[in-house]
Structure 1
Amino acid sequence: MFTLLNVAQPDTLQEAYKILTAKRSNTILGGSSYLRMGSQSIHTGVDLSKLGLQYIQETESFIEIGAMATLRNVEKHPALAKYFNGILPQAVSNIIGVQFRNVATVGASVFSRYGFSDLITALLVLDTEVELFHGGRMSLADFLDTPRTKDILTKVIIPVTGRQAAYYTLRNSASDYPLLAVAVSCYDNQWQIAVGARPTRAKLAVHAAGLLTAAAVAPEDIEQAAQQAAEELPFGDNMRASAEYRRAMCRVLVKRAVTEVAVCK
Structure 2
Amino acid sequence: MLKIKEYVKAESLEEAYQLNQKKKSCILGGMLWLKMGSRTIQTAIDLSGLGLDKIEETEEAFSIGCMTTLRQLEKHEGLEKLTQGAIRQSVESIVGVQFRNLATVGGSIFGRFGFSDVLTCFLALDTYVELYHGGIIPLEEFAAAKKDRDILVRLIVKKTPVHCVYMSHRNTRTDFPVLTCAVSEDGRGVRAVVGARPGRAVCIRLEEDSLEGGLDGSLDAAAEGLAAQVTTGSNMRAGASYRSVLAKVLIRRGLCRLLEERGIS
* TM-score, scaled relative to structure 2: 0.95
**Cα root mean square deviation, aligned:** 1.3
Partner in structure 2 of residue 178 of structure 1: 177
Instruction: Note the residue ranges of structure 2 that are not aligned, 5 or more in a row.
Output: none
| 1:218 CA displacement | 3.5
Does structure 1 residue 128 correspond to structure 2 residue 127?
A: yes
Does structure 1 residue 140 correspond to structure 2 residue 167?
A: no
| Counterpart Cα distance in 2 of 1:240 and 1:257 | 23
Contact 1:211 1:224 survives alignment (8 Å): no
| 1:161 CA displacement | 2.4
| 1:245 CA displacement | 0.5
| Counterpart Cα distance in 2 of 1:213 and 1:82 | 21
Partner in structure 1 of residue 235 of structure 2: 238
Contact 1:211 1:225 survives alignment (8 Å): no
Does structure 1 residue 2 correspond to structure 2 residue 5?
A: no
Listed one character per residue, the Cα deviations across residues 121-161 of structure 1 (whole Å, up to 9, x for unaligned) are: 00001021001001111011100122211011000011112
| 1:41 CA displacement | 0.7
Equivalent position SS for 1:54: coil
Corresponding residue to 1:254 among 251, 254, 263: 251
Question: How many corresponding residue pairs?
Answer: 262
Instruction: Note the residue ranges of structure 1 that are not aligned, 5 or more in a row.
Output: none
Listed one character per residue, the Cα deviations across residues 51-98 of structure 1 (whole Å, up to 9, x for unaligned) are: 000001111110111000000110111111111111111100100111
Listed one character per residue, the Cα deviations across residues 169-198 of structure 1 (whole Å, up to 9, x for unaligned) are: 100000001000110011247111100000
| Counterpart Cα distance in 2 of 1:51 and 1:189 | 34
| 1:223 CA displacement | 1.4
Contact 1:6 1:45 survives alignment (8 Å): yes
Matches within 5 A, 1:79-228: 79-188=78-187, 190-206=189-205, 209-211=206-208, 213=210, 215-218=212-215, 220-228=217-225
| Counterpart Cα distance in 2 of 1:211 and 1:201 | 25
Partner in structure 1 of residue 17 of structure 2: 17
Listed one character per residue, the Cα deviations across residues 226-248 of structure 1 (whole Å, up to 9, x for unaligned) are: 10122111000001011111100
